[in-house]
Amino acid sequence: MLDNSLTRWLKGIRGKPGRPTVLVKELGERDRRRILRHFLALDDSDRLLRFGNVISDDAIVQYVQKIDFSHDIVFGVVNRVFQLVGVGHLAFAKADKGKPTQKERVAEFGVSVSASARGQGVGSRLFQRAAIHCRNADVDTLYMQCLTSNQTMMHIAKKAGMEIKREYGEADAYLQLPPPSPASVMAEAIEEQWAVIDYTVKANARAAVKWLTPKK
């Protein structure tokens, strides 16, 4: 019989009734251009919410160039036509004194979802995947910074049970995570395998459409 938490996780992937199944995959070097396209499509207000500033296209190019896939973890969700509609960036840092952890590292998470894909559970799934990844990587504290005016993100943070400290219009939220369990390791591995299959099928379909479309 499946452990309860694993069953819950698998049900979560299927999503709420009326919402599509959201599969979260770890991204790598081959996705760098797609990640860039996703960020460049964010408008000024989304850039402010995601990066804390209305950053320019050039700054986004630099940010994406600097992502180190061997150190940070970047998660993504692709839509039916293989566009990257959600990106979650999990960065690890040394835990300073005063942080609520005994572990060596803490994690910080930033997320964005394309305007066309919002309200379907993509942001929540990216957050949940980041949290289970931290658990399995022996990191027990996950931070997220956002503006207090960001009602959607505040809702996601509260739903996940995050402790939220509000100061000067900014919210510093953190989630204390339990240690890994066989179910948490299995849940992440199962989702990643499904997501890899889904990603590969969509990538091949997209390549086939490109190949079959006559060149002008």
Ligand X SMILES: CC(C)(COP(=O)(O)OP(=O)(O)OC[C@H]1O[C@@H](n2cnc3c(N)ncnc32)[C@H](O)[C@@H]1OP(=O)(O)O)[C@@H](O)C(=O)NCCC(=O)NCCS
Query: Min. distance of Cβ 48 from ligand X in angstroms?
Result: 8
- 195: number of Cβ within 10 Å: 21
Query: Which of 24, 120, 131, 135 touches ligand X by CB under 6 A?
Result: 120
Which residue, 46 or 198, is less far from ligand X as judged by CB? 46
Determine the residue with CB nearest ligand X. 123
Burial class (CB in 10 A: 0-12, 13-18, 19+), 18: exposed
**Distance, first Cα to last Cα, the chain:** 56
Query: Which of 146, 162, 171, 195 touches ligand X by CB under 6 A?
Result: 146
Span interacting with ligand X, options 56-64, 93-101, 145-153, 207-215, rule CB under 6 A:
145-153
Strand partners, 77: 86
Which residue, 130 or 216, is less far from ligand X as judged by CB? 130
Query: Min. distance of Cβ 10 from ligand X in angstroms?
Result: 18
Give the containing element (helix H, strand E) for 20. none
Site string for ligand X, 91-110 (x = CB under 6 A): -------------------x
Written as six digits, the tokens of 169 are 């219009």
Number of residues binding to ligand X, judged by CB under 6 A: 23
CB 154 within 8 A of CB 146: yes
| C-alpha–C-alpha distance, residues 134 and 106, integer Å | 9
Does 112 participate in binding ligand X (rule CB under 6 A)? yes
